[in-house]
Amino acid sequence: MKREPLLAALGAFALIACAWAVPWLKFILTIALAKGIAVLGILLLLRAGQVSFGHSMFLALGAYTVAFMAPTEPEVLLLLPAAALVATGFGLVIGLFLVRYRDIFFGMLNLAFAMVLYSLLEKLYAITKGTDGIRVAGLTFAGTQPERPVQEWVMFGIALGLAILFGLLVSVYLASPMGRALAGIKTRETRLEFMGVPARRVLLFAYVLSALMGGVGGALVAMTTRHVTPQIAYWTASGELVFIAILGGAGSALGPFLGATAFELVRVYAAAAVAEAWQMILGAVLLVVILFAPGGVWGLLSRRWRA
Amino acid sequence: MTEAVTRRAALLGAGATAGSLLLAGGGAQAQGKPSELRVGITTFLSGSASVFGVPAKQMAELLFEEINKAGGIGGVPVRPFFVDEAPGTDHLVGEFRRLVQNEGVQIVFASISSGSCLACTPLSDEMKKTTLLWDCGTQRIFEEAPHPYAFRTQGYGTPEVLAPLLYLLKHKPDFRTLAVINQDYAWGRDSWELWKAGMDAMKPGVRVVAEMFPRFGATDYSTEVTRLLAARPDVILSTSWGGDLVTLLRQSAERRLFERSTFVLPIAEASMQILGRTMQPGHIIGARGDHWNNHPSPKDPARLKRFVDLYRSKYNEYPIYPCHHMAQAISAMQAAYAKAIAAKGGGWPNDQELANAFRGLTFDSPTSSITLREDGQGLEDQIVGLSSFNQQYPFAVPKDMILFPAAMVSTPVGQKSVDWLKSLKPDFLNQVPAPIAG
Amino acid sequence: MATWLSENSLLLGLALLDGLAYAALVFMVAVGLNLVFGVLRIVNVAHGSLFAIGAYTAASIGLFFASRGLPAWMGYVALVLAAVAVGAVLGPLIERLLLRRIYGHEDVLQLLVTFALFMILEDVQKLVWGVQPVSQDAPLRFLGTVDIPFGDDVIPFTAYQLFVLPGIALATLIALAWFLRRTLTGRVIVAVTTDKEAATAMGIDAARIMLLTFSFGAGLAALGGALASPTTALVPGIGAQTIVLSFAVVATAGLGQIEGAALTALMIGLGRSIAVYFAPEFEVVVPYLIMVAVLLVRPQGLFGVIETRRV
Amino acid sequence: MLELTGVSVDIAGIRVLRGVSLAVPPGGRVALIGRNGAGKTTTLRALMGLLPVREGQVTIDGREATAVPAHHRARLGIGYAPEERRLFGSFSVQENMLLPAQVLRLPAAETARRLEAVFTLLPELRDLAPRRAAGLSGGQGKMVALGRALMVGTRAVLLDEPFQGLAPALALRYAEALARLRQALPDVAILITESNPELLRPLVQATYVIERGEMAPV
Task: Determine the pLDDT at residue B396.
Answer: 96
User: For the ranges A244-253, B191-200, C42-51, which has the lowest average pLDDT?
Assistant: A244-253
C70 CB within 8 Å of a chain B CB: no
* DSSP designation for D30: E
Which chain C positions have a beta carbon within 8 Å of D45's beta carbon?
197
* D17 close to C (CB below 8 A): no
The answer to whether D192 and D43 have CB atoms below 8 angstroms apart is no
pLDDT for D138 equals 81
pLDDT of A251: 77
Mean pLDDT within B5-17: 39
- Give every CB contact of residue C124 below 8 A, 6+ residues apart in sequence: A280
Q: What is the pLDDT of residue C171?
A: 96
Of D152 and C311, more confident = D152
Q: Which of A100, A105, A243 minimises the CB distance to C112? A: A243
Chains touching C by CB (3 or more pairs below 8 Å): A, B, D
CATH architecture of the domain with residue range B3-154+298-372 = 3-Layer(aba) Sandwich (3.40)
Three-state SS string over A68-91 comes to HHCCCCCEHHHHHHHHHHHHHHHH
Is there a contact between D167 and D140 (Cβ–Cβ < 8 Å)? no
Specify the 3-state DSSP secondary structure of D19: strand
For residue D206, pLDDT beyond 80: yes
Cβ–Cβ gap B229/C228 under 8 Å: no
Q: Which of A51-65, A263-277, B370-384, D113-127 has the lowest mean pLDDT?
A: A263-277
How far is residue C160's CA from residue C197's CA, in Å, rounded to a whole number? 44
Q: Is the pLDDT of residue B353 over 70?
A: yes
With beta carbons less than 8 A apart as the criterion, state whether C12 and C274 touch.
yes
Question: Averaged over D80-108, what is the pLDDT?
Answer: 88
Q: What is the ipTM of this complex?
A: 0.82
**Nearest 5 degrees, angle CA A217-CA A222-CA A225?**
120
Other beta carbons within 10 angstroms of residue D15's beta carbon come to 13
Q: Which residues of C touch D71 (CB under 8 A)?
A: 200, 203-206
Q: Do C135 and B250 touch (CB under 8 A)?
A: yes
Q: How far apart are CA B274 and CA B280, in angstroms?
A: 13
**Min distance C272 CA to chain B CA atoms (Å):** 9
- Tell me the average pLDDT across D95-121: 92
User: How sure is the predictor about B21, in pLDDT bands with cuts at 50, 70 and 90?
Assistant: very low
Q: Is the pLDDT of residue B402 over 90?
A: yes
Beta-carbon contacts of residue A18 (< 8 Å; ≥ 6 apart): A25, A29, B11, B12
Residue type, D156: A
Extents of the domains making up chain C: 28-172+183-236
The pLDDT of residue D62 = 84
CA distance C212 to C95: 9
% pLDDT > 90, chain C: 49
Contact by Cβ (8 Å): A212, A65: no
Over 70: is that where the pLDDT of B407 sits?
yes
Task: Return the partners of chain B (3 or more C-beta pairs < 8 Å).
Answer: A, C
Which pLDDT tens digit goes with each residue over A217-240? 999 999 998 889 898 999 889 999
Longest C-alpha distance within chain A, in Å? 59
Query: How many CB pairs lie under 8 A apart between chains A and B?
Result: 114
Whether residue B382 contacts residue B289, with contact meaning beta carbons closer than 8 Å, is answered with yes
% of chain D exceeding 90 in pLDDT: 43
Mean per-residue pLDDT over chain C, rounded: 88
Give the distance from residue D71's alpha carbon to the nearest chain C alpha carbon, in angstroms: 4
Give pTM, 2 decimals.
0.86
CA dist., res. A206 & res. D133, Å (int): 39
pLDDT of residue B1: 36
* Residue A144: partners with Cβ closer than 8 Å, 6 or more residues away: none
User: Nearest-CA distance from A80 to chain B in Å?
Assistant: 18
Q: Which amino acid is at B282?
A: G
- Cα–chain center distance at B160: 10
Contact B87 A267 (CB under 8 A): yes
When pLDDT is averaged across residues C78-93 and rounded to a whole number, the result is 94
Asked if the model's pLDDT at residue B8 lies above 70, the reply is: no
Closest residue by Cα to residue D187 from D157, D143, D147:
D157
Q: Name the E strands within B168-243.
A: 177-181, 207-212, 235-237
CB contact under 8 A, C201 and D80: yes
Tell whether the model's pLDDT for residue B377 goes beyond 90: yes
pLDDT digits (tens, 9 = 90+) for D171-183: 888 888 888 888 8
List CB contacts (< 8 A) between A272 and chain B.
21, 81, 98, 103
Q: Looking at the predicted structure, is the pLDDT value of residue B17 above 70?
A: no
What is the mean pLDDT of the segment spanning B301-311? Answer: 95
- In tens, the pLDDT along C263-284 reads 999 999 999 988 888 887 788 8
Containing H/E element for B127? helix B114-127
Is the predicted pLDDT of residue C182 greater than 50, yes or no? yes
Whether D112 has its CB under 8 Å from any CB of chain C: the answer is no
Please list every residue in chain B whose beta carbon sits closer than 8 Å to the beta carbon of residue A25. 22
**Ordered domains of chain A (ranges, CATH):** 4-306 (1.10.3470)
**Is residue B30's pLDDT more than 60?**
no
Structural domain for D207, as ranges? 2-216
Mode of pairing for the β-strands spanning B107-110 and B131-133: parallel
What are B218-254's pLDDT values in tens digits? Answer: 878 888 999 999 999 999 999 998 888 998 999 999 8
Query: Chains that contact D by 3+ CB pairs under 8 Å?
Result: C
Minimal Cα distance from A194: which residue of C? C311
Contact B274 C155 (CB under 8 A): no
Q: Is a pLDDT exceeding 70 seen at residue B28?
A: no
pLDDT tens digits, one per residue of A275-287: 778 889 999 999 9
| C-alpha span between C199 and A160 (Å, rounded) | 52
Given an 8 Å threshold on Cβ–Cβ distance, is C120 in contact with A284? yes
> What's the pLDDT tens digit per position in C230-275?
888 888 888 888 888 888 888 888 877 888 999 999 999 999 988 8
Q: Identify the pLDDT of residue C309.
A: 34
Q: How many domains does chain D have?
A: 1
The answer to whether B284 and B168 are in contact (CB under 8 A) is: yes
Question: In 3D, which of C197, C196, C198, C226 has the Cα closest to residue C213?
Answer: C196
CA nearest to D167, candidates D201, D139, D186:
D139
Q: Name every residue in B having a CB less than 8 A away from some CB of C.
A: 46-48, 50-51, 53-55, 212-215, 217, 219-220, 222-224, 226-227, 229-230, 232, 242-244, 246-247, 250-251, 254-256, 271, 274, 278, 317
Question: In this model, does residue B29 exceed pLDDT 80?
Answer: no
Picking from C155, C244, C286 by the largest number of B CB atoms within 10 A of its own CB, the best residue to mutate is C155
Q: Does residue B19 have a pLDDT over 60? A: no
Which of C14, C131, C282 to mutate to probe the B interface, most B CBs <10 Å? C131
| pLDDT(B68) > 90 | yes
Q: Is C126 on the interface with B (CB under 8 A)?
A: yes
Low-confidence winner among A127-136, A155-164, D126-135 (lowest mean pLDDT): A127-136
**Domain at B158-287+381-431, CATH from 3.40.50.80, 3.40.50.2300, 3.40.50.280, 3.90.105.10:** 3.40.50.2300
- Per-residue DSSP letter, D201: G
Distance CA A185, CA A192 (A): 7
Work out the minimum CA distance from C172 to partner chain A, whole angstroms. Answer: 25
Please tell me the least confidently modeled range out of A16-20, B106-110, C168-172: A16-20
What are the structural domain ranges in chain B? Answer: 3-154+298-372, 158-287+381-431
Q: What is the mean pLDDT of chain A?
A: 88
| CB within 8 Å: A105 and C301 | yes
